[in-house]
Amino acid sequence: MWVKYADDNVGTNMSDTPTDTSLYLGIAENKETEIPSTTPSDYTWLKIGGQPGTDGFYTEFRFSQGGETLHPTLIPDVRIPPDWTTFIPECDKGYLWMTKAVIKPGGTWGTLVTNWDGPVRIQGLNGKDGANGTGGEGSITADFSDEMQSVACDSAGNVTSGLPLVAIFSMYHGSTPLTLDSITLGVVAGVTATANKNTGEVTVTAITASASDTLRIPVTGKGTYNGVQYERTIHLSVNKVRPGAPGENAVIYSLLPSVSVIKRNSAGQDDVANISCKVFKTDGVSTSEISSIPLGYELNYKIDSNPSVKCAPGYGQATSGITTKIEFILYKVEESYTRLDNETVYVVKDGIDGKDGVPVNYKTYVYQMSAGQPSPPVGDSINPGEPWHDYPNVDPPANIIWW
């Protein structure tokens, strides 16, 4: 903002500071340079001297920079109070405060008719922080406790062990689990399965010999949050594992991550610092945890869209480096890296903090140019409208500023 002073509304004797003859204040806002123009027509001129009368009194405004709730020191009965100026200071590290007094012209600066009144802050206080924001539909996540499983079969494809198999279907809004409204299963040839919306359990009870060796069962869940119903579809994968050499059992390897989901709050903090994955081997009816990957197999992890990385069972990965998900993948290398098991652990996140709230109450002014005292604004709006403005105008220029 540029500010100048002059004797009249066309900028006669324009100066940076007021003189004995300065009756007008020139204001120019929203300029691209901080260097004030010396052309009077670039300014809007406001009459700041009093309306001519028997005593010639006028009101003078002064400004200073202060804190949020504490104004600068003001000596009310001193004609020119220290640190208070008739121009508006830059408030890059504080808040703008204003005071006013009635002045009687005479001498160099005139004399006080009234003391400087109690300063008011004319920039509002910052509002309190709003409540935490809630995530949009993109924060709805669906997940299985064990998304890829295997069953042992004979050479003809008849299942010999591993049934029934169970996976838990869950939905989250942010990190909040949703109560399921329904679960429905897609039809896959040769597969018999059921779902329970109360527990989230999806149970595969039968697989025929003619069913494919790799099965993907679509599962659709619906859950409601704050009156809005969301729907997500994911797949439960089942592999039919046939026996090896004659007389050998079908061997099944399975993965078990240390957590099913990573919960991240609005501050970005996770409920676990690290995540790992165990590997189990089922040979016939015997199941045991293994500490190393056998020859011909490979365990990998994959974070978000990054390349897969080879790892050992029980390897701990910091969750802070995961944005969306981490996948643990067990491959059979001898069969062109066939996936034997795949477990995905998602990051479920709370919404970020909301925006600042509305400002708390503070005192402000509205202005009107008028030859005589106008009627006060009507209503409770902070912007009462014409003819009142949040800044002084000059139409017509011979009028007086009222606030």
Q: Tell me, what's the pLDDT at 118? A: 84
Question: Residue 348: CB partners within 8 Å, gap ≥ 6?
Answer: 139, 141, 172, 174, 175, 261, 262, 263, 264
Residue with more model confidence, 359 or 96: 96
- Residue 242: pLDDT above 70? yes
Q: Tell me, what's the pLDDT at 69? A: 81
HEC string of the chain? CEEEEECCCCCCCCECCCCCCCCEEEEECCCCCCCCCCCHHHCEEEECCCCCCCCCCEEEEEEEEECCCCCCCCCCCCCCCCCCECCCCCCCCCEEEEEEEEEECCCCCCEECCCCCCCEECCCCCCCECCECCCCHHHEEEEECCCEEEEEECCCCCEEECCCEEEEEEEEECCEECCEEEEEECCCCCEEEEECCCCCEEEEEEECCCCCCEEEEEEEEEEEECCEEEEEEEEEEEEEECCCCCCCCCEEEEEEECCCEEEECCCCCECCCEECEEEEEEECCEEEEECCCCCCEEEEEEECCCCCEECCCCCCEEHHHCCCEEEEEEEEHHHCCEEEEEEEEEEEECCCECCECCCCCCCCCCEEEECCCCCCCCCCCCCCCCCCECCCCCCCCCCEEEC
Of the listed ranges 73-77, 229-233, 388-392, the least confidently predicted one is 388-392
- Looking at the structure of the chain, the number of domains it has is 1
The chain-wide mean pLDDT, for the chain, equals: 84
Q: How far is CA 303 from CA 127, 254, 278, 360, in A?
A: 39, 20, 17, 45
Q: Tell me, what's the pLDDT at 125? A: 43
Contact in structure between 162 and 152 (CB atoms under 8 Å) = yes
Residue 386 lies in a domain: no
Residue 370 lies in a domain: no
pLDDT digits (tens, 9 = 90+) for 79-128: 999 989 988 777 666 788 889 999 988 888 889 999 999 888 875 444 45
- Residue 45: pLDDT above 70? yes
Taken as a whole, the chain contains a residue count of: 403
The mean per-residue pLDDT over the stretch 178-197 comes to 96
Of the listed ranges 221-230, 285-294, 303-312, 344-353, the least confidently predicted one is 344-353
Q: Tell me, what's the pLDDT at 65? A: 86
- How is residue 193 written in tokens? 């399965």
Spatial separation of the C-alpha atoms in residues 183 and 203, rounded to whole Å: 12
- Residue 136: pLDDT above 50? no
The mean per-residue pLDDT over the stretch 317-341 comes to 91
Residue 282: domain span: 137-349
Q: Tell me, what's the pLDDT at 394? A: 47
Residue 336 lies in a domain: yes
pLDDT digits (tens, 9 = 90+) for 150-186: 998 998 999 998 899 999 999 998 888 999 999 999 9
Q: Tell me, what's the pLDDT at 54? A: 47
Spatial separation of the C-alpha atoms in residues 403 and 391, rounded to whole Å: 10
Residue 230 lies in a domain: yes
Residue 149 lies in a domain: yes
- Residue 21: pLDDT above 70? yes
Residue 185 lies in a domain: yes
Residue 229 lies in a domain: yes
Residue 1 lies in a domain: no
CATH number at residue 170: 2.60.40.60
Q: Tell me, what's the pLDDT at 400? A: 64
Q: Tell me, what's the pLDDT at 175? A: 83
Q: Tell me, what's the pLDDT at 127? A: 46
Residue 139 phi/psi, 5-degree rounding, is: -90, 5
Contact in structure between 30 and 21 (CB atoms under 8 Å) = no
- How is residue 18 written in tokens? 């007021």
The mean per-residue pLDDT over the stretch 283-308 comes to 91
Q: Tell me, what's the pLDDT at 181? A: 96
What whole-number percentage of the chain has pLDDT above 70? 83
pLDDT digits (tens, 9 = 90+) for 285-294: 788 999 999 9
Q: Tell me, what's the pLDDT at 144? A: 93
Q: Tell me, what's the pLDDT at 87? A: 82
- Residue 298: pLDDT above 90? yes
Contact in structure between 80 and 109 (CB atoms under 8 Å) = yes
